[in-house]
Amino acid sequence: MDDVRHVLVLPDRDAAEEAAAELGERFGVAEEPQLVRDALAGEDDAEDAQWLVVVEDPTGRLPAAELDEFAARWDGWREES
């Protein structure tokens, strides 16, 4: 399973920034994860936004189950694209 992109969906910017900073330490992610604000459909209020941490995994080496647990620390979850 090569060339995977993991997307950690987190509840707010602080959680996303903290998770992105810890990814390198915990998983040895060399490339800086991308942070993306994802407004919920139909919502204009900034309070109703999720934050995405996009992690490129070109070799498919990052363990999905561990990333699931990692995202859950911030009340988030992982999606794969």
**CA–CA dist 13, 69 (Å, integer):** 19
Query: Does the pLDDT of residue 12 top 90, yes or no?
Result: yes
What is the CA 56 to chain-centroid distance, rounded? 10
pTM of the model: 0.85
What sign has the CA pseudo-torsion 73, 16, 44, 42? Answer: negative
Q: Which domains does the chain have, with CATH numbers?
A: 4-80 (3.30.70.3450)
**CA–CA dist 13, 33 (Å, integer):** 13
Mean predicted lDDT score pLDDT of the chain: 87
Token pair belonging to 32: 């800086």
pLDDT for res 41: 56
Q: Give 20-39 pLDDT, tens digit per residue.
A: 999 988 998 878 899 999 87
Three-state secondary-structure class, residue 76: coil
